Structure formats: C-alpha cells, structure tokens
Amino acid sequence: MEEMDEKEFDSVVTTDLFNRMKQMIEEKLFPSENMIMLLKCIGYNKMLKCHRNRNLSHSELCNFFEKKINEEEKKEKEEKNEKLLMDLSECFITLGYAFPYELLSICVSYLLKVAMKKKESKETQKEVEMAFVALCSVEYYEVEKEMYLNEIEDIFQYHQEHHNLTRLAYQCAWQFLMNKLLADSSLKGAIVYELHFAREAARELEELKGKVDWKRKEEERNGGKGEKEELVLLRWLQTVYSFCGLQEVMNEEYIVLIDSVVQLFRAAKDNHKEISNMCICIFTIAVGDNAIGIDALLENEVIDVICGNIWQSTFEEKVPKECLSMLSAISHRLKGKEDDETEEAKRKMMKRKMIKKMEEEGFEDSISSFHGFISLFNKENRNGFYFNIEDCLTYNKGNEAP
C-alpha cells in the first residue's frame, strides 16, 4: 500500500474486500488482531496520501464496526476492553465517513486517550501518530469544544517544549483543530495567539524543506509514491491554506509564515508541481486578504513570485493564471482613494513601489506581446472576471500624481 497511487489503492480496497473481511472475522478464518492491524494499515495509508476512498461506509464491515463499538462501550468499566475500542475507533474513523454523532463522540474520546500518551518511545510515537491521523479525518463534524480543546492545548504545549510528536502527528493534530475552527470561530484566538499556529507552521515548513530532495524530477514522482516528507509537507500546506482562508488579523507570525511559503515555492517550482501550485493558492488568499498590507507582500517577495511567474509560455498551467488574478487583485486594492490623508499617502507610495517592481520585471515592455495571452485568459475564464492589462497598476494621468 505504501507504493500504491490512488487508482491502484481504490482497485484493491473495495467494498467487496471489506465484505469478505467481515465474513472472515465472523467465521473465525482470520485472527481478529491481524485483521485490525491490516485495517489500521489501510486507513493510515489512505489518510497519509489523502485518498478519498469511502468503500468501508458502503460495506457490511461498517455496520459490524458500529455494532461492536456500541456493544463494547455499554459494558461495565471493569469489563470494557479499551484497547479494542481504541483500535476499532481508529479503523472506523480513518476508513469511513458520515459518522453517527453518538458513535463519533465515543471514537473521538478514545482516540484522544491514545493521542495524549507522552512517552517518547518509537512504539508510543507510532500509536499517537496513527490516532492523530484518524482524528484529522473527522473533518467538519461538530464535536463539542469541551470534548477536545483542553486535551489538544495540552498536547501542543507539551510538544512545543519536548518535541515528542512525529511531524505527521503534529500536522494531523493541527488539521483536526483547524477542521473544528470551521464550525466554531471562537477557536481562532487560541489558534493564533495561544498556540501560535503561524509560528509553528513556518518552522515545520522550513525544516521539511531541508529534508526533501528538490532535484528529483517531476516524472520521478509517480502517483502517490512520493517521499513521506513530501506528503507531510503537502498536508502542512493544505492546513496553512485552511488557516489563511480564515485569518483576519495580521501579525508578525502570519507574515513570517507567508515568507516561509515563498521560500518553499522557490525550492519546488522547477520539479514539484503539486507543492508549487499549493503555494500559489496560499499566495492568492494572502493577496486578497486586506489584513496583510501591500508593503508586507513586497517585503516577503510575494510580489516577486507573481512577477517572476506570470510570463510563463504555457498558459494552460495553473501558475500564470493564478498570478494574473493576483496581479489584478493587487491593482484593485490600490485603486480606491482613501479619505484619511495618511492612508492615502501610504496608498500612493505603495502604488509607486508596485510600478517600480513591474518595471524591474519588464512589465511595460511585455504588454505588446502579452495581448494574445490576456485575450485567451478572458476567453477561457468562466467566472466573469475580465482583465484589462492597460489598466493594471498604471496611473490615470491628470487624476493622480506619479
């Protein structure tokens, strides 16, 4: 399974496979401990590579899991097999979807018990990692804050001091919390100011960037067969994307995070399309977010990335299209005059800096050869967005001083 791409994975992990597994368990043709180990391995690989396989939920094994979890949970405390409940919860959550609320609450509580283990042995680290891989698949289901917030805060604070979690476990823990933020905006303060997501994510991106072989060509990455560091890096970028989409308060840590994404893009742009495209998606949010100033975008070189990649010859690629849209968004932000004199002076200064940047990148010289490019963009775009290159970041003579 570690070598399978998503198509291969789906061809093997079928509803029929799960139905046969359930039959083998009932007929005692296969030791249940080994079956659980196999199912945990399937769920782990599915989540690591972000496969969307949902075949368990359409199988008889899914109903079997629900029944077994409920039966075991109803037992008296001294009769209850918590290890079995933890294992069943992990299999059920990683392989299924659309969970009944009561069952979800049971599974989350047992997975958190595993996740809170603090021993630094490799065996414990692996158990904790697999628990968090399961927890981050809970996605947007509403689970009361009281069920997890204190535990998650304790886990983060302990890790930030002792570094006991694996990189994947730490990323999954953040994704679990970010999923909850979509349903409960009151978590934003804790995520930004108490747990310092932006600072932690920037550090993780920087460290992972140093572990990836960026010289490996794109064609050498076949399907889901990338190095684990690359897979974890992509997962972190998806979590950063979720965070940036919800961020409304700019602080220094947020700006440092965007700078880390810029440096990652520069490392990935030649040989890793998936990572570089994900970086561009994050820049798109940053450019459109009024909380981060144009001056910050200039300082951390987001503007350089836009200018440096907008002139790619293959317009079918995602990057130049996104860069063109970002350029338009910056232009729109700099157009409207401010009533406050200080803010208006700042806007004009930023506009002058942007024009200087455009000139340094040969913007003016490229306009004549770029008409066909823009025409194709406007023709193919289905979102109603129309780009007029002559209006982009140029002054209206007579209306504004240069």
Convert the pLDDT of each residue in 146-163 to its tens digit: 888 889 999 999 999 999
pLDDT-derived band at 387, boundaries 50, 70, 90: low
Distance CA(8)–CA(45), nearest Å, equals 12
Residues in CB range of 129: below 8 A, 6 or more apart = 165, 166, 168, 169, 172
C-beta of residue 180 within 8 angstroms of C-beta of residue 145 = yes
pTM (whole model) above 0.75:
yes
* Percent of the residues in the chain that have a pLDDT greater than 70, as a whole number: 83
Position 312 scores a pLDDT of 62
Q: Which range among 74-83, 300-309, 358-367 shows the weakest confidence by mean pLDDT?
A: 358-367
Distance CA(363)–CA(360), nearest Å, equals 7
| Residue 355 backbone dihedrals phi, psi, to 5 degrees | -65, -40
Residues in CB range of 160: below 8 A, 6 or more apart = 200
Asked if the model's pLDDT at residue 35 lies above 70, the reply is yes
Q: What secondary structure does DSSP assign to 201-242, as a single string?
A: HHHHHHHHHTTS-TTS-GGG--TT-S-HHHHHHHHHHHHHHH
Distance CA(195)–CA(47), nearest Å, equals 24
Tell me the average pLDDT across 32-56.
91
Distance CA(330)–CA(93), nearest Å, equals 42
Tell me the average pLDDT across 170-183.
90
Tell me the average pLDDT across 298-304.
83
Distance CA(306)–CA(266), nearest Å, equals 12
Decide: residue 353, CB within 10 A, 0-12 exposed, 13-18 middle, 19+ buried. Answer: middle
Position 225 scores a pLDDT of 56
| Residue 118 backbone dihedrals phi, psi, to 5 degrees | -115, 0
pLDDT-derived band at 396, boundaries 50, 70, 90: very low
Asked if the model's pLDDT at residue 174 lies above 80, the reply is yes
Distance CA(78)–CA(80), nearest Å, equals 6
| Token couple for 87 | 């294992």
Position 140 scores a pLDDT of 61
Q: Nearest-CA neighbor of 126 among 166, 86, 91?
A: 166
Decide: residue 11, CB within 10 A, 0-12 exposed, 13-18 middle, 19+ buried. Answer: exposed
Q: For 203-249, what is each residue's pLDDT tens digit?
A: 999 999 999 989 887 777 655 556 889 999 999 999 999 898 876 66
| Token couple for 264 | 């990652």
Tokens 């290890």, residue?
83
Tell me the average pLDDT across 346-360.
78
Position 228 scores a pLDDT of 86
pLDDT-derived band at 399, boundaries 50, 70, 90: very low
What mean pLDDT is reported for the chain?
83
Helix axes 302-309, 318-335, angle to 10 degrees: 130
Q: Is 339 helix (H, G, I), strand (E, B) or coil?
A: coil
pLDDT-derived band at 402, boundaries 50, 70, 90: very low
pLDDT-derived band at 377, boundaries 50, 70, 90: low
Q: Which CA distances in Å does 222 have to 7, 67, 102, 225, 275?
A: 12, 39, 40, 6, 14
Output 313 or 178, whichever has higher pLDDT.
178
| Token couple for 116 | 């809170």
| Phi-psi category of residue 329: left, alpha or beta, with phi > 0 → left and psi -120 to 50 → alpha | alpha
Position 395 scores a pLDDT of 43
Q: For 47-61, what is each residue's pLDDT tens digit?
A: 988 898 999 999 999
| Token couple for 201 | 């994510």
Asked if the model's pLDDT at residue 366 lies above 60, the reply is no
| Token couple for 156 | 């983060």
Give the range with max mean pLDDT: 177-191, 255-269, 320-334. 255-269
Tell me the average pLDDT across 8-20.
95
Position 289 scores a pLDDT of 76
Asked if the model's pLDDT at residue 181 lies above 90, the reply is no
